[in-house]
Structure 1
Amino acid sequence: MSFFSLPHFPAANTVAEHHKRDYQIAAFTFVTTTICLTMDGFAPQFMQYVLAFFGWLFLIAWLRGECKYVRTQVAVAVTFAVIGEYFASVYMKGYIYRFGNVPAYVPAGHGLVYLTAVALGRSGLFQQHARRIAVFVVAVCGAWVAWGLSGFGRLDIIGAVLFVVFLGYLFKGRSPMVYLGAFFITSWLEIVGTSAGTWAWAEIDPASHLPQGNPPSGVAAWYCLVDAVAIAGAGPVLQAFTKTALVLQRQRA
């Protein structure tokens, strides 16, 4: 199967509508992520709770305009991502936040990041130019991997491994547009967060004992895992809630 016949990508001649809301969500998250992570790089720990308050406020406001299925995806993404944060950061020490905790704004942040990946993936721009954007993403991430392996900076073997995993999500997964969107927002937030000193990745990955960058070049793969769980888990969660609601309704009757 050739690249241009990938079944889960939009057709090459797709004509899609441009909805302002999708671009507004993306622009909002890119800007607020930059502000939030830069501020947390120097502000006292109390500021994390202030950022969390506004994070949840904005996330709930944006979700009001989404369907029930997307809202459920966001809920699953937040739940899975937060569990992953505590395991990978607090327990495994794969990366460590400035205060050694998981900042209070992280759950809402994951929700906004996932919603942004969805918004970009469904946008007219991504739908019409999916293959060109995919080529660009692979080229940029591939160059990033090459730099990590070159020895000119911090050696990044984990980044190369994650890059291969990311390619699997992108070209074999059922939601490549979401993964493309995830690459842009997650790579950006990782670069901003590590540059600001908000968190730092361990020089040696504690699980594999392989060297990794700060951040690893293929770091988007970790976020794609969150996205995949959210997409796969939303349906069963909605069904479970629907069945529970019906049972409760019958009991009240």
Structure 2
Amino acid sequence: MSVSTSKTFLPAFLKTLGILYLYIFVGLFIDSEYVVKHYGDLQWFANALMVVIFSIVLWKVNSRVRELMIYAVIIGFVGEYLFSIALGMYTYRLENVPHYIPMGHALVYIGVLYFTKTSFTKLHIKQIEKAFIAIILVYSTLFLIFKNDVFGFVLTIATLLILRKKPRERLFYLTMYLSIVFLEITGTSYECWKWPETAFDYFTFLPSANPPSGISFFYFGLDLGCLWLYKQRHKLAWSRMKNLRKIRETKILN
């Protein structure tokens, strides 16, 4: 996984999200009900494979991305035990939190980040945003109509409303939304985890699909948490970067 310098979609996608989606597809299959029924429980192998893949990616990326990946694992670990174990928002196959999951959050985070930094996305950011928004609206509406996914639709609308005033982060979160869609559909299809019929299995006025469409809303917390931790450790460098950004924006306006 690396930042692609290609100015066309396919190479930019394949070198970032393509690699991520392939690993999600294969990695979650190892922990699927199909594998359990035919070959036994191989969650231990999925965990071991994740450690290897995560370590390779961690070694190859630069120091800033490496630090963000570590923060993503920490926040992912806390978030999983909070939302899955404590709040019952969703349930894993063995009613645990598989060890590969927090590291998987970090890989999704970095895969999406790398895609948004490609030459292709920088050249076509507005067109990509419009296309992604259209896909998201169609997807969430279909889930609302055919799966009664009120919970997912509400989260989708909340996400899009927040992003209206976040132009700098918009493409990242739109890409994250679609990446989580792929992740969730793959994981629930493999029966690695499942979502209850209502939000948190408690709010009956919020029926939910399995999976809910807009669940990437909660990845705001992952990104904001990673950035907050990074800023706390690098206050001087972060302040310098903000000042440079203001200078560039002022020059553009003038």
- Say whether the fold is shared (TM-score over 0.5): yes
Match of 1:224 among 220, 223, 226: 220
1:97-176 to 2 correspondences below 5 Å: 97-150=92-145, 152=146, 154-173=147-166, 174-176=168-170
- Deviation of 1:204 (Å): 0.8
Match of 1:38 in 2: 29
Native 8 Å contact 1:159 1:216 kept in 2: yes
Match of 1:27 among 11, 18, 34: 18
Task: State the Cα deviation string for residues 101-148 of structure 1 (Å, max 9, x = none).
Answer: 111211221111111011111112222221121112211111122223
Pairing 1:52–2:43 present: no
Task: State the Cα deviation string for residues 55-102 of structure 1 (Å, max 9, x = none).
Answer: 122122122232222112111122112211111111211111111111
Count how many residue pairs are aligned between Structure 1 and Structure 2: 223
Native 8 Å contact 1:121 1:127 kept in 2: yes
Q: For 1:180 and 1:145, how far apart are their aligned partners in 2?
A: 13
Between stretches 127-136 and 114-123, larger displacement belongs to 127-136
Comparing both chains, which one has the higher relative contact order based on Cα–Cα distances under 8 Å and sequence gaps of 6 or more? 1
Q: For 1:235 and 1:21, how far apart are their aligned partners in 2?
A: 29
CA change 1:237–1:203 in 2 (3 A) is farther
Native 8 Å contact 1:98 1:197 kept in 2: yes
- Deviation of 1:199 (Å): 0.9
CA change 1:179–1:110 in 2 (3 A) is same
Match of 1:234 among 230, 234, 237: 230
Task: State the Cα deviation string for residues 161-214 of structure 1 (Å, max 9, x = none).
Answer: 111222145333342232233123211111111111111111111354411111
Q: TM-score, normalized by length of structure 2?
A: 0.78
Q: For 2:181 and 2:29, how far apart are their aligned partners in 1?
A: 15
CA change 1:202–1:231 in 2 (3 A) is same
